Amino acid sequence: MIELRAGALRCELVPERGGALAGLWWRDVPVLASTPGARLGSAREAACHPLVPFSNRVGQAAVVWEGTLQPQVHHPGDAPAAIHGLGWQRPWEVLESDASTAMLAFEHRADASWPFAFDCSQTLRLAPDALEMTLAVTNQSGRPAPLGLGWRLLFDQRPGARLALRASGRWDMDADRLPVRRTGVSGLQTAVAAVGADRSYDGWDGGVTVDDALLRVRLHTGLTHLVVASEPQHLVLIPASHVPNAVHCYASGAPAQDLGLALLPPGASLVAQVRIAPEPAA
């Protein structure tokens, strides 16, 4: 476990659990749904974990790519889909760390789980007013590869919590929580308890505010796709580079630019950053 501190903020990382951020606290108040690192059982329980080489679901856990069937890894409870890539299921290496910064790395060589080799790094910097995370993935295969990234952020559903964001489009989901059609919207302002099933947004301005009686948390990123969902007692925010099921939709004929899917040449990289800034409730 790695602990970072800066001012009133503290976080704990567990690199061997998928490069996960186990918890983030402002003074002793959880900013995200936090678990002490020593008690973290898996990345799915963590306050945040990185998503690579794709975010959210791949329908039927298989993709036909360049005429070849590429099966993906099912996750219990999410069948018949593969979900959130490989990074959260594998240990990450600690490259360097100090009192307020840590850099982690994950290397994948092509296998039955994902046919494209890639390297990934995640840097976490804790300042007195915010946590900043940078995620980068580089195509190490000898051919163009579909790659995406993001983070899964977990918030406690505290009493009176509200959510606000701005976006230009929302994707309606089918029974398997996969996108089927896009409609124009202006964003979302609602009580967290009313969020319900997965909502996938694009044309997102990269900002989200979560307010409750204890904290106001502002999230900002350059990513333009966001999934919002509720779980028992939790709000899930997934800022990502692409629409859920993007690699499957692209293989079925949808334009990559409409999906946010990056098709990286050999040696090319995709980089994303997110900033999480808490402050006392007004």
Taking all residues of the chain, what is their mean pLDDT, rounded to a whole number? 88
pLDDT value for 203: 95
Sheet with 130-139, edge to edge strand ranges: 93-97, 101-108, 118-127, 130-139, 269-280, 215-221, 207-211, 162-166, 187-191
Please say if the pLDDT value at position 89 is more than 90: no
pLDDT value for 282: 77
More confident residue, 137 or 84: 137
Please say if the pLDDT value at position 73 is more than 60: no
Token pair belonging to 51: 């998503």
Half-sphere exposure of 67 (CA within 13 A, CB side): 0
Nearest Cα residue to 100 out of 13, 18, 207: 13
Q: Return the number of other C-beta atoms located less than 10 Å from residue 74's C-beta.
A: 15
Nearest Cα residue to 274 out of 123, 157, 137: 123
Q: Which residue type does 162 have?
A: R
- Range of weakest confidence among 45-49, 77-81, 82-86, 168-172: 77-81
Name the pLDDT band for 65 (thresholds 50, 70, 90).
low
Please say if the pLDDT value at position 216 is more than 90: yes
pLDDT value for 70: 60
pLDDT value for 115: 84
Kindly state the percentage of the chain with pLDDT values over 70: 90
Residue spans per domain, the chain = 2-280
Interval 66-91 mean pLDDT: 63
More confident residue, 178 or 81: 178
Q: What is the 3-state secondary structure (H, E, C) of 150-214?
A: EEEEEEECCCCCEEEEECCEEEEECCCCCEEEEEECCEEEEEHHHCCCCEEEECCCCEEEEECCC
Q: Which CATH architecture has domain 2-280?
A: Distorted Sandwich (2.70)
pLDDT value for 244: 86
pLDDT digits (tens, 9 = 90+) for 219-230: 999 999 999 988
pLDDT value for 258: 86
pLDDT digits (tens, 9 = 90+) for 158-209: 999 999 999 999 988 777 777 778 889 999 999 998 887 778 999 999 999 9
pLDDT digits (tens, 9 = 90+) for 243-267: 888 887 787 788 888 888 899 999 9
pLDDT value for 239: 97
Please say if the pLDDT value at position 32 is more than 80: yes
pLDDT value for 199: 87
